[in-house]
Structure 1
């Protein structure tokens, strides 16, 4: 799959959270311009909180709880369809993420 110029979609239930137009790759991360959709307002604060906690570097348990809420609320789809696992950050008009075709091991 060619990534540059591809559009990835973020959804919450059946609603569009936004689209990410990929314009940069730094394996394993992809990043791009984020265009919010109608449902972004319902998850905006979750992404802001997750990034604030990640910047603190002092309580990863709180960060994990915040990110788990994001994972419960949103899904990520590549141009080929949904991806089972991802780590997604959104700030302003930028989004960056890594993903996997296979579920992560919980062990």
Structure 2
């Protein structure tokens, strides 16, 4: 399975190791990196997102701050281009678990 690195500029936020699939998401183990604490609160709020959101305003309020950071997700093997969060992929991190859709 694919290994990923999550970057905020040149700071490693964390690493993901895919282990399975729950369509349409790939499931991964998440290991925090040096930049995790600076974004942790945003991802915790996004992970807690549940319930009705008919017009999508809660979704936007939770994901826009993450999008605005311009985080990138790069394959560890470097064979494919990086993905930009909430432009090319969606990533939800909840503790040591991650769900990735690209």
Q: Scaled by the length of structure 2, what TM-score is found?
A: 0.81
Residue 77 of structure 1 and its aligned partner are, at CA, apart by 1.7
2:72 aligns to what? 75
Question: Structure 1 stretch 15-24 or stretch 76-85: which is displaced more?
Answer: 76-85
Q: Scaled by the length of structure 1, what TM-score is found?
A: 0.77
**Structure in which a larger fraction of residues adopt helix:** 1
CA RMSD of aligned residues (A): 1.6
Structure 2: state its 5+ residue gaps. none
Q: Matches of residues 27-38 of structure 1 in structure 2 within 5 Å?
A: 27-38=23-34
**Number of residue pairs aligned between Structure 1 and Structure 2:** 94
1:14 aligns to what? 10
1:24 and 2:27 equivalent?
no
Structure 1: state its 5+ residue gaps. 100-107
